[in-house]
Amino acid sequence: MPDRQPSRRGAGPLIAAAAGGLVLGAAGVGVAWALGDSGGGPLDAGGGAEADARDACEVLARFDEERFFDEDDAGRIASYRFGLVVGLAEAAAVGDAEYEPLAEAMRTAQAGIANAGDLDGEAGQALADAREFCDGR
């Protein structure tokens, strides 16, 4: 019987799957946090799509992509902020189609992370597009 060698796949697909799960989980936590906030914080400062877009842009400004994949508290914070931006951008787009470019950019960034396991290339460009959208507001 021939010896069977275990398949040697790179860690890339595993990292991409883990990053995708992390991003999707963070998005869920972010949306739940945003929808459940009743403490008079920034999410109560006007309501509606405009407020969701403004809040998404404010959180995006604090998002540190350099720390996103770190396995420490700074990495967790970056991941949660990313998820929150995705959720708020989606909520804004549902409320007003004017914010669809922001939501689309964040969906593209999220998919880029899930597919490539990094914030380079398509994901990085999508983040730049989202920041440009926010800067234009």
Residue 6 falls inside a structural domain: no
Q: How many CB atoms lie within 10 A of CB 1?
A: 3
Residue 99 domain boundaries: 13-34+42-135
| DSSP codes joined into one string, the chain | -PPPPPP---SHHHHHHHHHHHHHHHHHHHHHHHHH--SSSGGGSS-HHHHHHHHHHHHHHH--GGGTT-SSHHHHHHHHHHHHHHHHHHHHHHH-GGGHHHHHHHHHHHHHHHHHSSSSHHHHHHHHHHHHHHHT-
In this prediction the pTM is 0.68
When divided into structural domains, the chain yields a total of 1
Residue 1 falls inside a structural domain: no
pLDDT given for residue 30 in this prediction: 56
pLDDT given for residue 76 in this prediction: 96
Which amino acid is it at 63? F
Residue 3 falls inside a structural domain: no
pLDDT (tens digit per residue) in 35-49: 544 444 444 445 799
Residue 128 falls inside a structural domain: yes
pLDDT given for residue 116 in this prediction: 79
Residue 58 falls inside a structural domain: yes
Residues of the chain with pLDDT below 70 are 1-46
